[in-house]
Amino acid sequence: MSRLTTFQTKEIQQTETEMVRFVREHTNNQRLQESMLYSIDAGGKRIRPLLLLATIASFNKEISLGGYQTAAALEMIHTYSLIHDDLPAMDNDDLRRGKPTNHKVYGDAMAILAGDGLLTLAFELVSMAEIEPTEKVLLLQLLAKASGTHGMVAGQAADMQAEGNKLSIEELMAIHQRKTGALIRFAVVAGGILANQSEGTLEKLDQLAKHLGLAFQIRDDLLDVVSTTEELGKETNRDELLEKSTYPGLLGLEGAKKALTDELTAAEAILNELALLSTFDAELLKEVCGLFYL
């Protein structure tokens, strides 16, 4: 097994345990709990917790309980956003990670509440985490910014408004920097904060995460075109159906593949710079970058 596979197995499992434990212990309604756990248990790539935890580990720091709790909260926010995005009023998706979407199983009303519940639980979890108060407040500020109306929610609104309009590549990037980029930047920067890094290093980590965020989105757009529903576990060619602008749509298939490689090359260059710090080992995050290739 590669170092990454070992890391993923152990650390993602811990994060999932923390998520499930917190949902079970902090929910006062059975059906609501089932609905939230259904979407958490559906799995997924857990790329955000992986980035957060791999960043901590790259500074040769042991991952504390507070790290797992922050990673769990981040994945809860991602999970809530999928539940709400899949609703009939939004993207109207029936399938997610090879399973019926939350609202297909629990109904629209419960799916709305499951999303609201996971979003609120994420803030509860960080607010109760084993993290020193000043650092905790900083993480809460950054998490709220990344997931809220500067970040993910604003990007989702812009994405929805853009349906049916042909965007420029700059407009498309501006949407994705909020919609998916902001949470990925939080993941990497939060890892740096939990590893007690300096402002300068956090700034470098943020640059790294910007490239990874774009790579993630370009790859996602490409998979929507080149995969089958079976491979992807969700319906494909949805972007075309929803008349969404995409990287392959704007740049062509080869152009999008090149853009993906360019972003990952830029990310790896920053990792090499970070590796000049004696405390930073770039190998694990380079392996994570490898996951972002097609």
Cα within 13 Å of Cα(163), Cβ side: 12
- Contact with its own copies (CB under 8 A) among 120, 165, 229, 265: 120
Nearer to its own copies, 60 or 120 (CB): 120
Q: Find the shortest distance in angstroms from Cβ 183 to its own copies.
A: 12
As a whole number of angstroms, the distance between CA 80 and CA 78 comes to 6
Query: Which amino acid appears at position 236 of this protein?
Result: T
Q: Among the candidate windows 140-148, 197-205, 237-245, 267-275, which touches its own copies by CB under 8 A?
A: 140-148
- Helix then strand count (H, E) for the chain reads 15, 2
Of positions 4, 12, 19, 36, contacts its own copies by CB under 8 A? 36
Residue position matching structure tokens 């995005």 = 85
- Binder of its own copies out of 5, 9, 17, 127 (CB under 8 A): 127
Stretch that binds its own copies, among 23-31, 190-198, 199-207, 239-247 (CB under 8 A): 23-31
How buried is 292 (Cβ within 10 angstroms: 0-12 exposed, 13-18 middle, 19+ buried)?
A: buried
What SS3 class is residue 235? coil
Q: How many CA atoms lie within 13 A of 91 on its CB side?
A: 25
Is residue 128 within the footprint of its own copies (CB under 8 A)? yes
* Residues near its own copies, by CB under 8 A: 23, 26-29, 31-33, 36, 80, 84, 87, 89-90, 107-110, 112-113, 115-117, 119-121, 123-124, 127-128, 133-134, 136-137, 140-141, 144-145, 147-151, 153-158, 160-161, 178
